[in-house]
A and B are shown apart, each in its own frame.
Chain A
Amino acid sequence: MSAKIFSKDEWVGVLEGLKDDYRVYVPVREGDYHNFRVLEAGTRPSFDFQNTRMSAKFLAEPQSERMFVYTLDEKDPDAHILKEEEKAIPPLAVVGIRPCDAYAFKLVRRNFDTPDYKDPFWIKRYEATTFVGLGCNDPCKTCFCASAGSGPFDRKGLDVLLYDIGDAYLAQPLTDKGEALLDKAAGGKEADDASWKTAQALTRQVAGKISSRVPTDKLKDKDVNELYGASFWEDVAFSCINCGTCTYLCPTCWCFDVQDEVQRLPMAGDRIRNWDSCMFPLFTLHGSGHNPRSQKTERVRQRFMHKLKYYVDKYDNGIQCVGCGRCVQFCPVNIDIRKVAEKMNSL
């Protein structure tokens, strides 16, 4: 199937139409920033954004998710036995996700979908999702996707790539899932040569706008213990206040905690999982009181080493970072992963 063009006037109607077949997530303005929300009555999609404040990682890994249910009622023959809950996950479509954030799902997948173990919660949601990405015409100053294996029009994580060509979106299907979605989209017309030329000119023009370059070429060859023992970690971590913002905003951070809660109903309990953060000392605290990463320098080092060295070694496919720049933009004390990468790469 060939690409389609949707005029911006018809666009919201097109999205509304997709609701028959998908639970549609769209960017919505919330105060000064945008986030993805379900398209329902009253939702006003807004595509006037550089990137959403939160990444779309919650689609496959909600911030809090029920894993199992159980009853503690002794009269029930199944008391204390954990049960899987039937979760009907409808087809999901996320429209307007940036290519870097979509690529992040590919990186995170390596962790949830392994040869040894499959995480059914993440995989089911991921597989149910059609990624309709919006190429970046106006990258942030903090973006460095082009140095992180991605780019403003990167297709790797996407099913459909949208180009904003002024008064219309050019929608290019990239996978069967993407074609199926465009098939179901009402309206639009076949893309003409002129639109394609505009889109191509756009990609060339934007490539020049990504001003941050981050060197990562030497990370693979560095000795892990030499990097670990480098003298710059104290400096890097000096201003860190352990707020965890970087990890919550990061599209490639996925760590979670597992907890039991008995509060839904008397005697009915849930095993749930919640986003966790390696920035917190509790993350690694042993029952004995021993803590391998009790100091913030150790935790800051862990975060950067994980993204820029451990996973470079583990998968030999680049860094565990897509260059979205959120952690740079929203760190309250201006810790900058680009500078840390430079230090590590040039050690």
Chain B
Amino acid sequence: MENPYLPYPVRIDNITTETEDRNLKTFKFVFINPEDEAKFAYTPGQFAELSIAGKGEIPIGIASSPTEKGHIDFTVNKVGKVTTHLHNMKEGDVMGVRGPLGNWYPWEEMEGKNVVIIGGGFAFTTLRSSIVYMLEPENRSRFENITVVYGARSPGMLLYKDELMEWEKRDDLDMHITVDGTDDPDWKYNIGFVPAVTEQKVTSAENAIAIVCGPPIMIRFTQPVLEKLDFPPENIILSLENRMKCGIGICGHCNIGEKFVCKDGPVFSLARLKELPPDY
């Protein structure tokens, strides 16, 4: 019997500090047993448990895209025991990754549609995975217009800045970077909260699906903007989090009604979510 709790051993290949407060780092892992990479076949929107012997496990969204071979990346916010330890680890250190876990964004439904991606703060990780995935030449033609609104508190708090700047320049992607505020006189992108920028930049719900990831406050104020544009709740896609342990729907921690965020989610349409009790 396969043991679904046993992580794949990985080595930290690279660590990038993403934000000016140094609280967010991206960890690039390579599998110690190369055959594990194929077993870890994932789809954008999924997550994994990062496992540190002696410390524990944490569920983290996968930030790399399956089109990026040879490594898997996770951007981790330093908040608790495991993440703090991880932030102090160094390149070459050995740990574990268990997954991929959960469901993914509705890629089949999104084919032939306009895709609107709305992200805030450090919840941009699986959205980054999704954008890289869609921009891959073999995938780009499967989707119509791609619009991205991504905001953070300040320029220094944006994730993946180099990529964001590159995406800004592309003509097959409508990229809108925004910050809540900045004292940088040379800032040439948007200033304003994500919901407000969404209202300015996203003009139609026609043939469109919106994926929204961010802090609860951002989601709360973005929802009415999308509803005003006539996005039906079936076409508003959210990724949730809840405290998790097993990640496979067994340990009982993350339930919302009869669903487990880890196994039946983390991706839910707003329509589906409205049918469930609000335990999240």
> Are chains A and B native binding partners rather than an unrelated pairing?
yes
Which B residues touch A80, using CB under 8 A?
9, 52-53, 93-96
> Is B277 located at the chain interface by the 8 A CB criterion?
yes
Which A residues touch B257, using CB under 8 A?
224, 228, 305, 310, 313
Q: Mostly helix, strand, loop or mixed at chain A's interface? A: mixed
User: When chains A and B are docked, how far (Å) is the Cα of A298 from the Cα of B255?
Assistant: 13
> Is A176 located at the chain interface by the 8 A CB criterion?
no
Give the size category of A's interface with B: 35 or more
Indicate which residue in A82, A111, A117, A262 contacts B6 across the interface (CB closer than 8 Å).
A82
| Number of inter-chain CB pairs below 8 Å | 132
User: When chains A and B are docked, how far (Å) is the Cα of A246 from the Cα of B277?
Assistant: 23
Scoring A residues 263 to 292 as 1 if CB is less than 8 Å from chain B, else 0, what string do you get?
000000101010010100001111110101
A225 near B56 with CB under 8 A, answer: no
Count of B residues near A, CB < 8 Å? 48
B279 near A117 with CB under 8 A, answer: no
> Is A248 located at the chain interface by the 8 A CB criterion?
no
A84 near B255 with CB under 8 A, answer: no
User: When chains A and B are docked, how far (Å) is the Cα of A283 from the Cα of B56?
Assistant: 16
Using A68-B6, A116-B248 as known contacts, say yes or no to A258 and B53 having CB atoms under 8 A apart: no
B94 near A81 with CB under 8 A, answer: yes
Q: Which of B266-280 contact A (CB under 8 A)?
A: 275-280
Scoring A residues 222 to 241 as 1 if CB is less than 8 Å from chain B, else 0, what string do you get?
00110010000000000000
A276 near B253 with CB under 8 A, answer: yes
Scoring B residues 230 to 259 as 1 if CB is less than 8 Å from chain A, else 0, what string do you get?
000000000001110110111111110110
Which A residues touch B216, using CB under 8 A?
290
B279 near A258 with CB under 8 A, answer: no
A260 near B53 with CB under 8 A, answer: yes
Residues of A within 8 A of B (CB): 67-68, 70, 72, 79-82, 84, 111-112, 114, 116-120, 123-124, 224-225, 228, 254-260, 262, 269, 271, 273, 276, 278, 283-288, 290, 292-293, 298, 302, 305-306, 310-311, 313-314
If A67-B5, A284-B243, A287-B83 are given as contacts, then 15 extra A-B residue pairs at C-beta distance below 8 Å, sorted by A number, are A70-B53, A82-B9, A84-B6, A117-B4, A117-B249, A117-B250, A120-B1, A255-B251, A256-B246, A258-B5, A258-B56, A259-B56, A273-B251, A292-B280, A302-B279
Provide 28 A-B residue pairs closer than 8 Å at the C-beta atoms, listed in order of the A residue. A70-B53, A72-B53, A82-B6, A82-B9, A82-B96, A116-B248, A117-B250, A117-B263, A118-B2, A228-B277, A257-B245, A258-B246, A260-B54, A271-B5, A271-B53, A271-B56, A284-B242, A287-B77, A287-B80, A287-B83, A292-B278, A292-B280, A293-B279, A298-B279, A305-B277, A310-B258, A311-B258, A313-B257
